[in-house]
Amino acid sequence: MSVVSFPAASDPAPDDERLRRTPLEPEDCPPSPPVAASPEVQREHAAALERLSERVAPTEVRVGIDRWGRPMLGPQHTDEAGWRVRLMAAFGTTSPAFIEGEIERLIRALMALRDDMDIETKANGAIAAVSGIRQPGADPRSAPSAARPGGSGRAHECGVRRQ
């Protein structure tokens, strides 16, 4: 049987070349510089700006949590009736039960995401996405396939679950 000897605590550290190297610093890799916009791109930007001017800003919600951990919704302002009408327009229905159920489903799915974004920001982003799909005059080719005719009609749920 061979005996393995270990260096004593007072022995100098072995000469390891890796310990003498300067650690590498990460470097930024910025995007390539922009090029001048062509006349076609400028026309596309003008058309997009015109389409934006026709859109209504999406409604927003305030989100709280009750003592049982369930989400609580509220308007950003004191006009609750107007807020509810805008939610109806965003979801394309006059059913308060449907709207509340779908918003609760959205919030529960968003709460399950492990990120550093607060739930109110995520909920308002999701409602804005649903509202954008439902906008009158919106180009159906730019909507997710679930929102197109023949799709599932539940684009917001599909979008959240695919992440």
Query: Going residue by residue through the chain (163 aa), what tens digit of pLDDT does each one get?
Result: 666 666 665 555 667 777 777 777 778 788 888 889 899 999 999 999 988 887 777 788 888 888 887 888 888 889 989 989 888 888 888 898 998 888 888 888 998 888 888 888 999 999 988 888 865 555 544 444 444 444 444 444 444 444 4
Is residue 131 situated within a structural domain?
A: yes
Give one DSSP letter per residue of 96-118, joined into a string: HHHHHHHHHHHHHHHHHS-SSS-
Q: What's the domain count of the chain?
A: 1
pLDDT over 90, % of the chain: 9
Q: Looking at the DSSP assignment, which residues form a beta bridge with residue 64?
A: 72
In a domain, 16, yes or no: no
Whole-number pLDDT of residue 136: 55
SS3 61: strand
Burial 11-30 (b: 16+ CB within 10 A, else e): eeeeeeeeeeeeeeeeeeee
**Could you tell me the pTM of the whole model?**
0.56
CA dist., res. 100 & res. 8, Å (int): 71
Expressed as residue numbers, the domain containing 155 is 61-161
